[in-house]
Structure 1
């Protein structure tokens, strides 16, 4: 029956962007649809929360937070989360659409997997969980329904963090336990607390289920199952499937220990242990286990393909399959007669299989592109692939928001794909996250500039200093890249900080000129005059700050100017000043000249001029009138009619 006809969301466009095309599945928390992103013209999966949960403010807040965290995960075995939106009463996630089936579908079809095939499936599952654990995320709902298998065989884990969001709902605190009780760690049952080791426990239960075909704890009610998780150990899978090795049993029993401290510390450690056991198993191990599980009347079957063996149990046989009738004496006679031919036939088949195995181990051997190839450093990825007999080409680097600079962003064939030795694998490295605009921090303090850059996702690189006539001391002069330019957040931003204006060297220069220069720089100048022997009068003998030190507008600076030794007449009129052995030069006589001419002549000769008198424009008196005086000293002229 087509259930999409009656679904009111089918055909609607959510948030003006996502057109719902059909319904995929419905669960206790949400309904999943296939939709088209109208803006980007791509097929996506939409998980719409049930209305009762969407009305719960606590649930929606947790749902949004966990969705953001899940969206930050970058791993080929994680179903990507593209967007989180609300449209009226509908809260929904936009996710990568994975075309294929769930691991539950596979189990329903096959009954159980061979142990080697089960360990092969577990590796990408644990790689995905490990990426989440490194990011501080706990899945909380590891089960076959949340493991998706694409049409090309790639494994992806879905619904990261959403179980935690569901547990925050006020509507039903028991919903999570009832929905996933078969995989709950004892601490989840007792306290509701879950951490990365709770995911490890669930993964151990999942491994048991893949190998045996059923969960370790079964009972009539969910409560009884939960009780068993708390009070009974998960049995080793060899108690159900004969012939399993102790290392396989240890994987399950260690991961499902009641003491979380005895489990692998996270999915990454569990992955390493699973990979070690997997690599130690012979390639035909699943066939051996299958043969050990058959009864004596099983019909001879050819060996299944390596690495992907699924073991069928009696539940997969048709319920009305007839039993063979009892054998008569004649039958046994015919059997004895034909037994030799059967043995010959079996020998021929065995020879063919042996020949095939030799071919497979030599020229026909296959490898898998490692599931962890994405996110691996490019050099390490090349070494890993070339060490496995594969050729490697490197494509032009691309920006990737999920993979850091210098790491592998994607591979072709993709991670997990089966490839022949000698085949070429193309690696595309990441050149960092997509460029974004660098904030303008010019004029900010170094601390404020760093904070502004980090808030936009950038890191601060090298910090240097420079003098500046326009930017105050300890403020940012510029950045590289400059504010407003676009740059990848993986590229550090260098900062140049102002040390202010550089204090000039004023010692020995004219005091008045030095004062004017400093004031033009916007500095608060204090001039002190002292008598310093052996220095020219009127010149700067010291300064504070010293030459080269940074100063900013408004800073206080001090210069010390050598005081002149001046001669004053009895009326208080300054007649002349000496300058402590400074240079002496001739004094021109300007008596009788106009005041303007006299000033010009004396100033051109290197003297300062003091004009006295109240009227007239003719110089009637000059002091000193002749002889020599110190350059820069003052000559007084008296004007009169």
Structure 2
């Protein structure tokens, strides 16, 4: 059933409960996109036309109820032989589970629940609907604390063919009203009796009547008074006990006249002025139909009565004494004749009674003890019942049981009692865990699949996830084990999924400043793609031709999927109208033969005060300096030697265009004076120096001209 689209609208998600007559599933209403509860009639009842007719009629009547404390009925339908009722889905627990966990409840909480149940019953009674099966199992407590009463009208649908099934009667017999137990028509006050039993159980943690069989419990409802709740739980206020005692009176006329009257009493029972009110005393109720224990009639009393009835009496008087004596003496045997008649009559009666008892004994079927077959396989259970003169009802009632192997009996309707030989025993047989067909999850996202699996009871510790890089988006299921369509038990299955981690990624390198050829090799080694159409060329003063200027699509250190296309901007060199000029700088060391540090700084279209060349020289050298000029700009070249400014050369764009620019820059050094010359030879030397000085002056003049 799980995974089936019932009526083409309700997608069955998981089983959430069940009873002797129906199973309840959680489902998704695909039309209205909401969660609903779907009650499905068990298969053994699908051929009972009267049951189906009443089932649907009562469900339709319950659907007319609209109350915040009544589970709403949304739809009633049939698909093939499946009859179902769609109702409101409540997140929470039923009252029976709450009682098992926490009973006895606090008086305030129990009264709050009872008020809401009573309000729901009042609404139903006003609409002429009697619940007939009020018990904690049919009362839902939502996570918000709101009470919802469910299963309205279902009890009326039980027929003679289903009344013996334990699922329809045994589960409710502890909450029967006396009139319900008698089998007579029940009314509103029967529901109030059941509510009183529920309130009793909430406050004491126990049921008022227990027995070995449903019949014994029903008889106690008829014959015995309930034990006072305060004798079990002295913390119960007297006012609340009085409500329980009144609601559970054997005589319906002594109970509340309506749910509204009981609701008013519940609303005020916890007021301070009522908590310690006196205990309500009810008059004795004598039910003429009540089962009683009568004293046995002894045999000697019967014989004495019979003899007295048939023995002739002699009348004695003063005037007839002689006559009587004379008659008796004269006919001594006359009195024996009536006695003989009586004796023969008694013998005949005894023979008739004996024959009647003998005939009853022959007609009366032998009673046998019902064997306990729970835990046996169905085949062994049948054999055991047949060996005792009994038989198993065919077919048995089968249910999915998560903890019981398939074909093992987990319950029987009669046990620990004697029944007539040949009686049929209803066996409840396990179909094992409910198996579910695995969907095809390949291509779906793992997060959504995990949520769906959680809804059918598969926890994360039974879901194995393996990951690998793939072209599919991150989190996409690539493979699953078991395969699609295989049947599995949601409580024990272990699933394995291979999930995509997305494409494999690499760290994007920093390409700015690299040559295009170098970038090509690096990107190829990383599995990235550089297409020709993704290389964007543009002119640049700052970057040489074929040097990467910018990364367009991915920045350095980004994680990039392998195979991704990369887009870059590459320098095509200076613009077409730019001018390039090579200035030759001829420079000598400060002292010939000694080393000097030379530093050249230039400013042009690429930037200001850019360091060009730094070199150590020991002799005169030529150093070419390339400058680039944009229209209407100038370039400067500044030369320093040994950290001392030596000279600056300016080149203008217009000079280059007109061809009038100077060819270079010359910076001479100093000549070394020989140490052997003395003062006496200075005049002669002066002449030499004079001539040399003249030539030196000319050299400097020439250098200045060159500089100009």
Fold shared per TM-score above 0.5: no
TM-score range, shorter chain: 0.3 to 0.5
Q: TM-score, normalised by structure 2?
A: 0.38
Q: Highest CA radius of gyration, 1 or 2? A: 2
Q: TM-score, normalised by structure 1?
A: 0.42
Higher relative contact order (CA 8 A, sep 6+): 1
